[in-house]
Structure 1
């Protein structure tokens, strides 16, 4: 797996990351969602540099111009519900992409630290020979991404896979490296050192879905 960790370079992305981590600022759910969306735009821009491009002739009122544009073979898949603001940021830039959505959640049996990731909904176009972008804001254990790609197997084999995450753990990144093809590229804004006993990233930011849309029961 090729890992693009954007926190290794200073950019405006650092401001957005600092705000979504800040326990005071993140109380504003609209601002939290907007910052995730803006992070998605930054990660999408960086990802776009790795895509294949073709030449296109554009006709202006005064002449013509050859422009290199990305090939239109993208499928953008987000993991509900936390992935929706990140999805919006990506689709702001990849507005012609096809879209897929999958529901995946942690099932903590009897409220224990142990859990399994349950997938019970998937809507996706064919992935055959297309470029798949998986958007999951928090790459904690990596098991959600593993179950997601397994659930999509009968939709065809993509020619390339990109994973887009906001914050990940070192353990989770290592896990997906073993699960996904070597050619997979990970685009991530920050990688944190630890996981809690319940599989949450430390220091992380908390539950991204709850911060975006409210606490669930």
Structure 2
């Protein structure tokens, strides 16, 4: 598994504002979108392209375009929806699927409650977006889900991660083509499975409390 942890002052600045408990939801949403665009730049470094020739007003020029089949972006509901616009800006022709995975707050184990994905993901580059890589359970389930459908090239983009979750994912996907891009790697998980120092519940801060 390949891991990229961002090292850029703008990303650190925006994450600092996200962490602040006094940051209002509208600002939080805007910053999430901006951060994902910055992280997606690195995440798409190996996006598949094919060579083409185009005609400029002066002459012909060699270039590239995204290869087919197009990449697919999969936000993990519901917090992952807040990241979608940020990556679609860079990959406007990508297909978008949805995967609903929720964590049981007592057992900390994830369970899948919804999916809107193609049955066959063979030869598709998959980009999974989820703000928090905490215990790793949600991301592991997501990766399993897409690999079962034929995917072999998966990149996950998360704003924050914990060492415990990253280690769990790495142990699970050993030998597979998986890349994880993080805005920052935080200190640890607390007894409730929350990232420390973290930023709280990303879904609640994006959209308000869900009863």
Fold conserved (TM > 0.5)?
A: yes
Q: Which 10-residue stretch deviates more, 206-215 or 139-148?
A: 139-148
Within 2, Cα distance between the matches of 1:66 and 1:60? 10
Map of 1:91 onto structure 2:
88
- In the TM superposition, residue 46 of structure 1 has moved relative to its aligned partner by 1.1
| Equivalent position of 1:14 in the other structure | 12
Alpha carbons of structure 1 residues 211 and 22: separation in structure 2 relative to 1, 3 Å: same
- Aligned length in residues: 208
Q: Does 1:41 align with 2:16?
A: no
Deviates more, 1:62-71 or 1:132-141: 62-71
Q: Segments of 4+ in structure 1 off by > 4 A?
A: none
Aligned equivalents of 2:114 and 2:78: distance in 1? 12
Distance, in Å, in 1 between the alignment partners of 2:153 and 2:141 is 18
SS in 1 for 2:9: coil
Instruction: Give the TM-score normalised by the residue count of structure 1.
Output: 0.89
Residue 211 (structure 1) aligned with residue 205 (structure 2): yes
Query: Match for 1:144 among 132, 138, 147?
Result: 138
Name the SS of the counterpart of 1:141 in structure 2: coil
Contact 2:143 2:154 in 1 (8 A): no
Q: CA RMSD in A?
A: 1.6
**Match for 2:196 among 180, 184, 202?**
202
The equivalent position to 1:61 in structure 2, one of 48, 57, 63, is: 57
Gaps of 5+ in 2: none
Partner of 2:28: 32
Distance of 2:25 and 2:40 partners within structure 1: 22
Q: Distance in 2 between matches of 1:87 and 1:71?
A: 21
SS at match of 1:173: helix
Give a deviation string over 1:113-146, Cα, whole Å, max 9, x none.
x332121100012311111111111000000112
CA distance in 2, matches of 1:153, 1:184: 11
SS at match of 1:93: coil
The secondary structure found in structure 1 opposite 2:183 is strand
Query: Where do 5+ consecutive residues of structure 1 fail to align?
Result: none
